[in-house]
Amino acid sequence: MRQIAIMGFGTIGSGAFDVVNTNREIIKKNLGEELQVKYVLDIREFPGQPVEKVLVHDVDTIMNDPEVDVVVETMGGLEPAFTFVKKALEAGKSVVTSNKELVAKKGVELMAVAKAKNVNFFFGASVGGGIPIIRPLLRSLSADDIDQVSGILNGTTNYILTKMDREGTSFEAALKEAQDNGFAERKPEADVEGYDACRKIAILSSIVEGKFVDFEDIYTEGITKITSEDFEYARQLGWAIKLLASSWKEQGHRYAMVSPVLVKPENPLYAVNDVFNAILVHGNMVDNVMFYGRGAGSHATASAVMADVVEAVKHLGENIYAGWSEEKRELSDISMSEKQFLIRVKGDVSRQSELATKFGAGQLIDADVAGEIGYLTPVLSEKAFEAAAAKTEGILQRIRVQA
Amino acid sequence: MRQIAIMGFGTIGSGAFDVVNTNREIIKKNLGEELQVKYVLDIREFPGQPVEKVLVHDVDTIMNDPEVDVVVETMGGLEPAFTFVKKALEAGKSVVTSNKELVAKKGVELMAVAKAKNVNFFFGASVGGGIPIIRPLLRSLSADDIDQVSGILNGTTNYILTKMDREGTSFEAALKEAQDNGFAERKPEADVEGYDACRKIAILSSIVEGKFVDFEDIYTEGITKITSEDFEYARQLGWAIKLLASSWKEQGHRYAMVSPVLVKPENPLYAVNDVFNAILVHGNMVDNVMFYGRGAGSHATASAVMADVVEAVKHLGENIYAGWSEEKRELSDISMSEKQFLIRVKGDVSRQSELATKFGAGQLIDADVAGEIGYLTPVLSEKAFEAAAAKTEGILQRIRVQA
């Protein structure tokens, strides 16, 4: 019998509590012994609920109990999560977390404490919810030179974009519907501005590089400026608009970026809709592999949390490399990276030769939107694009195209 | 510096040799030390090729060399692969294989030897080529009750079915094209009759059950009887026809089956085309997760082989549970399992009431094929379906529908 504690009884913490209870026999079979939640830490009371029996309000009850081998952190946010997690590691307990902010911001420090204490700090649930991605990257693609990771890493924005595509609605209307259906928060900035996806791609980039990639260095653009007209052009082209979080190598540089991108049907991410997430990984040997599933939600995320707990219990007293070194990997400025752009400009087909002169030979796209015309540029650097755009009148929109 | 040996310099063996050489630095970074191929065993000579320098013809050169820690088996087939692998394990070497027949037929015995000798027997490349699936099932979904695994596990048949769908060609014409393009063997039975997929779903079923599921017990139906008319009905319905290898729990029973199946667009397997493979896993907590990629090919499969080698070297002297027990899990006869069927019958819409009486209230499907009509049955057991079909005149085809 192994005892664990859960810190934070919100969406994911209560999901983890459910998983332990509902799948007791499965976990016992896979772990070789029974798992029990000895404590749940929360500031709230839950009168009459099963959790009441194990509820504690003082974190030191957990820290001081030598019977607790693994602590699950599902509070979210930086504090007090960081203080509690560090304390647990220093007390010789392994920690499993779903907290992407904590991992992206404080991962290096916490991994170092885990190593020094010969315990583990696992965070498989911090990216992609229930989708296995962190461990496969570390353990199943370890013979590949991974040159690109692109993901739909935020379910809220994917739901909104899918709605806009299917129903022709505006961003504002789709956001409101997502909020009404519980798929978006009342304060939606973290999702719709791309901040959530940014932290997740920082984690994946760090794993792939084996070095610390700072999320604050990643160019991040959300979906708030995407309009129903943009989708007219996407439909005309037969493409989709997705919020992609990408990290890639190009001529010795490492780039990372979060932005809305036009995705072609031959890309497996094209068909990933609604709240689903997916991560497309390209290796020089394995080619493309994709991991798909629910990137959020109580039980899906808790499934990943509890799988990490099983691993942590199996490796008590043995620190497993499951992160990155403290060395920082600098990202190159995206201005040198190259791609195609779709622009929408005021006017009509008569602008073709002007646009070709400024951006290079591309393709006019007429999506039957009154008073404007689209133009698909050739592949050019972000810098060259910006220079040409600065000299062009009446640009209404620009969206990158996924190669 | 760690030394390995590769037995069999065919498609996958030569791919593994390439991976070690091309990705030397990546492997060194991930493993913490350098990896070198000390021997390649093959009966052939390869004059003038780099492999020549390490080529050996006597397996005992490998077995008797204590410097060789890990042996890669990429010969395929049961013998001499089985004898050589067993010998290697008994000599205290870990073995990594891509050989699905070996794993499906002799896995239990080889796992026992590995355990007794405190070495490892890894076979991540035996299912899905380069797609990480075995290790994620074992390590990342260990807190889930996995009630269904369905896969497109054979690239050749998926290529043929995709061709038939897109181009309206016959099975024979699509097979010939696949053969001409090197995507199908001159003797295509193992692929088109479903035998290859059968061994792979047996391996996945055994992993999920933790017990031995014998491939010889699995109902297996290939794609040789699928016609261009079938695709007329699929198109009419907006569905795809895929060769699915499935394993699922239903009312306490474990079923497994390989057969052509109609797949609806909301199923993520629907969009998996050409030579690509994908495995859809359903767990009671994680819901659906899908793993997608190249299920075959020299470098993709070798990527999985070499990732297993990295794991094997990291765990020298420590046997890792990565398979199933020797206890056999009996499969239930599929006659009691329930699903919808599409049948094609001679005649026209006038048969509706007769078909409804025999199969239950369903739906007529008119795909404009002369002299026949389609009927989508309600959900019923295979047994009830067979009984009704036996009493029905002029049945031209029956295809199962994925729920």
Contact (CB, 8 A) for B346 and B371:
yes
B94 and B150, same domain (yes or no) = no
Task: Decide if B306 touches A, using CB distance below 8 A.
Answer: yes
Task: Decide if A141 touches B, using CB distance below 8 A.
Answer: yes
Task: Decide if B8 touches A, using CB distance below 8 A.
Answer: no
A121, A122, A127, A133: CA torsion to nearest 10: 140
A288/B299 Cβ within 8 A:
no
Asked if A200 is an active-site residue, the reply is: yes
Nearest residue on chain B to A129, judged by CA atoms?
B286
**In 3D, which of A95, A106, A161, A150 has the Cα closest to residue A128?**
A150
Judge if the upstream peptide bond of residue B47 is cis by omega within 30 degrees of 0.
no
CATH of the domain at B375: 3.30.70.1150
Residue from B140, B162, B282 whose CB has the most chain A CBs within 10 Å, to mutate: B140
Please pick, among A100, A200, A242, A358, the residue that the annotation labels catalytic. Answer: A200
B130/A286 Cβ within 8 A:
yes
Residues 6+ apart with CB under 8 A from A253: A332, A336, A337
Q: What's the pLDDT tens digit per position in B138-152?
A: 999 999 999 999 999
Q: Rounded to a whole number, what is the distance in Å from the CA of B264 to chain A's nearest CA? A: 13
Tell me, what's the pLDDT at B251? 87
Q: What's the pLDDT tens digit per position in A275-284?
A: 999 999 999 9
ipTM for the whole complex: 0.96
The DSSP symbol for B208 reads H
Instruction: State mean pLDDT over A236-251.
Output: 96
Residues of B in contact with A264 (CB under 8 A): none
Is residue A184 assigned to a domain?
yes
Is residue B379 assigned to a domain?
yes
Task: Decide if B207 touches A, using CB distance below 8 A.
Answer: no
Task: Decide if A116 touches B, using CB distance below 8 A.
Answer: no
Q: Which of A18, A139, A143 sits opposite B19 (nearest CB)?
A: A143
Domain final residue pick, A230, A262, A294 = A294
List, in sequence order, every residue forming a beta bridge with A121; answer none if it has no partner: A95
Task: Decide if B26 touches A, using CB distance below 8 A.
Answer: yes
Residues of A in contact with B309 (CB under 8 A): 143
C-alpha distances out from residue B219 to A363, B212, B256, Å: 53, 16, 7
Residue A395 identity (one-letter amino acid):
I
Q: What is the CA radius of gyration of chain A?
A: 23
Q: Rounded to a whole number, what is the distance in Å from the CA of B89 to chain A's nearest CA? A: 22
Number of independent structural domains in chain A:
3
Per DSSP bridges, beta strands B146-152 and B363-365 are unpaired
Domain final residue pick, B294, B328, B349 = B294
Nearest residue on chain B to A34, judged by CA atoms?
B143
Tell me, what's the pLDDT at A403? 85
Instruction: State mean pLDDT over B222-247.
Output: 98
Tell me, what's the pLDDT at B117? 98
Is residue B322 assigned to a domain?
no
Instruction: State mean pLDDT over B393-400.
Output: 98
Residues 368-387 of A with CB under 8 A from B: none
B249 and B397, same domain (yes or no) = no
Whole-number percent of chain B with pLDDT over 90: 99
Provide the phi-psi class of B46: left if phi over 0, else alpha when psi is between -120 and 50, else beta: beta
B130/A135 Cβ within 8 A:
no
Instruction: State mean pLDDT over A390-403.
Output: 97
B344 and B265, same domain (yes or no) = no
Size of interface A-B (CB pairs under 8 A): 179
Is residue A260 assigned to a domain?
yes
CATH of the domain at A17: 3.40.50.720
Task: Decide if B394 touches A, using CB distance below 8 A.
Answer: no
Instruction: State mean pLDDT over B40-44.
Output: 98
B49 and B70, same domain (yes or no) = yes
Task: Decide if A23 touches B, using CB distance below 8 A.
Answer: yes
B353 and B224, same domain (yes or no) = no
C-alpha distances out from residue A282 to B77, B105, B135, Å: 30, 33, 19
Which helix (H) or strand (E) segment holds residue A62: the answer is helix A59-63
Tell me, what's the pLDDT at A271? 94
Task: Decide if A309 touches B, using CB distance below 8 A.
Answer: yes
Residue from B33, B282, B286 whose CB has the most chain A CBs within 10 Å, to mutate: B286
Please state, rounded to an integer, the average pLDDT across all residues of chain B.
97
Tell me, what's the pLDDT at A251? 87
Nearest residue on chain A to B265, judged by CA atoms?
A271
Tell me, what's the pLDDT at A169? 96
Please pick, among B93, B200, B242, B339, the residue that the annotation labels catalytic. Answer: B200
* Distance from C-alpha of B242 to C-alpha of B7, rounded to nearest angstrom: 34
pLDDT at B403 over 90: no
Residue B316 C-alpha from the chain's centroid: 28
Is residue B151 assigned to a domain?
yes
Is residue B328 assigned to a domain?
no
B143/A30 Cβ within 8 A:
yes
Total residues found in chain B within this entry: 403
* Distance from C-alpha of B208 to C-alpha of B137, rounded to nearest angstrom: 7
Task: Decide if A195 touches B, using CB distance below 8 A.
Answer: no
B44 and B31, same domain (yes or no) = yes
* Distance from C-alpha of A27 to C-alpha of A39, rounded to nearest angstrom: 18
* Distance from C-alpha of B202 to C-alpha of A174, rounded to nearest angstrom: 44
Residues 47-76 of B with CB under 8 A from A: none
pLDDT at A293 over 90: yes
Q: Which of B285, B286, B303 sits opposite A144 (nearest CB)?
A: B303
DSSP string, B6-24: EE--SHHHHHHHHHHHHTH
E strand segments, B197-337: 219-220, 240-250, 253-263, 276-283, 287-294
Task: Decide if B22 touches A, using CB distance below 8 A.
Answer: yes
B101 pLDDT tier (thresholds 50, 70, 90): very high
A131/B285 Cβ within 8 A:
no
The DSSP symbol for B350 reads G
Is residue B39 assigned to a domain?
yes
C-alpha distances out from residue B310 to A142, B43, B89, B96, Å: 7, 27, 17, 10
B132/A132 Cβ within 8 A:
yes
Is residue A320 assigned to a domain?
no
CATH of the domain at B212: 3.30.360.10
Residues 6+ apart with CB under 8 A from A62: A5, A7, A39, A41, A56, A68, A71, A88
* Distance from C-alpha of B245 to C-alpha of B259, rounded to nearest angstrom: 7
B169 pLDDT tier (thresholds 50, 70, 90): very high
pLDDT at B170 over 90: yes
B283/A288 Cβ within 8 A:
no
* Distance from C-alpha of A145 to C-alpha of A284, rounded to nearest angstrom: 5
Please state, rounded to an integer, the average pLDDT across all residues of chain A.
97
Nearest residue on chain A to B130, judged by CA atoms?
A286
A143 and A259, same domain (yes or no) = yes
B250 and B107, same domain (yes or no) = no
B119 and B179, same domain (yes or no) = no
A131/B289 Cβ within 8 A:
yes
Q: Rounded to a whole number, what is the distance in Å from the CA of A280 to chain B's nearest CA? A: 9
A104 pLDDT tier (thresholds 50, 70, 90): very high
**In 3D, which of B18, B22, B24 has the Cα closest to residue B74?**
B18
Q: Rounded to a whole number, what is the distance in Å from the CA of A292 to chain B's nearest CA? A: 5
| Two structure tokens written together for B183 | 């995507």
Q: Rounded to a whole number, what is the distance in Å from the CA of B349 to chain A's nearest CA? A: 34
Instruction: State mean pLDDT over B204-221.
Output: 97
A92 and A35, same domain (yes or no) = yes
Tell me, what's the pLDDT at A58? 98
Residue with tokens 């049948």: B343
A117 and A147, same domain (yes or no) = no
Q: What's the pLDDT tens digit per position in A163-210?
A: 999 999 999 999 999 999 989 999 999 999 999 999 999 999 999 999
Domain final residue pick, B294, B323, B353 = B294
Residues 145-164 of B with CB under 8 A from A: 145
A30/B142 Cβ within 8 A:
yes
* Distance from C-alpha of A200 to C-alpha of B70, rounded to nearest angstrom: 35
A10 and A95, same domain (yes or no) = yes
Q: State the residue range of the domain holding B183.
A: 134-294
